[in-house]
Amino acid sequence: MPPEPVPADPGRDEDLAWLDRDPEREVWLDRARDHDEPPEPGEEEYENFEPLTPEELAEIEEAAADELLAVKAATTGRRGPGLPGSGRVFPGESSSPAAAFGPGMVLDVLPGCAGLAVAAEAAGDGGFDGISEAELVGVLCAWDRVEAHAAARKLAAIAELGRRNPGPQDAEFAADQLACALADSRGHAASLLDLADCLGTRLPGTTAALLDGTISRYKAEIIAAAAALLDPDEAAAIEDKVLDRAARLTPGALRAAIARAVMEVAPEKARKRRERAAQDARVERWLEDSGNAALMGCELPPDEVLAADQRITWWARELKKAGLDGGMDQLRARAYLDLLLGQDSRPTRPTRRPPAPTPAHQDRTPRTARTALAGQSAPRYPAGSPAGST
């Protein structure tokens, strides 16, 4: 037995010290040096072997270092190529105009900036002929970082506009001015002013991550929304809890992580925020771009939402058993309307209304509901919809 407990292995996602051990590079060098040993007598496969020159060994060592750079690029928080198992590109192996965007190469790990935009524009200026798929992914990820960088610069200008109009009446004028300049709704302009102010005054780390393209604007919005009611110290605390992994989390996972962070840092404010938002419970409807319509309930009790969702799914399965055509999404939509309107869309209709589900389909335990809903991301609404314009 070991004299003391062996610490649990945190894994590569949480312990980055493994990079300093440089295992891949050592394997490369060991294999290269093995070839420099003289052949054993009687081993025919090595009869014509010529030892590698110091220059060749240096090239192999450089290639090994480049491969390790690709692995390191995957742990810096940047998105795109450079992940373990992706294609490797070494110096001199690609002559395409996007060679520098290959996995782990200089433009693949360069933060978002105007210079990166110029390089990405030049790489695809004549089309993408001759550019490998790994390099193409590097180019599109570069544009993603440039997009985030541009969003950070835009929000910085919006924040300055807000600072020049600090009074309540001036703030209303600033929202109108911004809406006019961007040909946007006033509600969305006011949201941009709030986001810009929050990032500029309470979330310096998130602002820096957005500026260099480590996170997208959408992820910055998720963090800012969670920090809206917190004081600067609390906002900094929740930022520290999620920002190190925000780049590799999906928006839904980030939303769940930031919600947990707020409950840990300021549980009372999290409770008051939920109670205050419940006062804005509502049902909204709007026309879809296709000509169909949408109906949505907002700020509802989590336990009742989960029970309602389970009931919709239950009735959708009953419709399917009865032979109604359509996928589960279509059947759930039909079940939703059936339950709201008290109708029955089964092909062979009984005279009674849809029966109530069994208790198993109506789990009203608040804790269970919050757990089930915690990891679900909020829907993205189309431009022009009521939810998307506020």
For residue 29, what pLDDT is reported?
53
CA 119 to chain centre: 25
For residue 358, what pLDDT is reported?
54
Which two tokens mark 304?
A: 């009742």
- pLDDT bracket for residue 31 (50, 70, 90): low
Backbone angles phi, psi at 179, to 5 degrees: -60, -40
Higher pLDDT, 311 or 169: 311
State mean pLDDT over 53-82. 56
For residue 65, what pLDDT is reported?
56
How far apart are alpha carbons 62 and 69 in whole angstroms? 10
Strands 293-298 and 282-287: antiparallel
For residue 15, what pLDDT is reported?
43
* Residue 52 confidence (pLDDT) above 90: no
Q: Are 162 and 174 in contact (CB under 8 A)?
A: yes
State mean pLDDT over 310-330. 95
Q: Lowest-pLDDT range, 72-86, 198-212, 359-373?
A: 72-86
State mean pLDDT over 232-250. 92
For residue 60, what pLDDT is reported?
67
State mean pLDDT over 226-236. 91
Q: Are 193 and 156 in contact (CB under 8 A)?
A: no
For residue 25, what pLDDT is reported?
52
Q: Which helix (H) or strand (E) holds 54?
A: helix 54-74
Hunting for tokens 């941009």 — which residue is that? 192
H helical segments located in 243-375:
251-265, 267-278, 302-321, 328-341, 366-374
State mean pLDDT over 12-21. 43
- pLDDT bracket for residue 190 (50, 70, 90): very high
- Express each pLDDT in 257-273 by its tens digit: 999 999 999 999 999 98
- Express each pLDDT in 127-181 by its tens digit: 888 888 888 999 999 999 999 999 999 999 999 999 998 877 777 789 999 999 9
* Residue 50 confidence (pLDDT) above 70: no
- pLDDT bracket for residue 44 (50, 70, 90): very low
CA 125 to chain centre: 29
Q: Are 226 and 259 in contact (CB under 8 A)?
A: yes
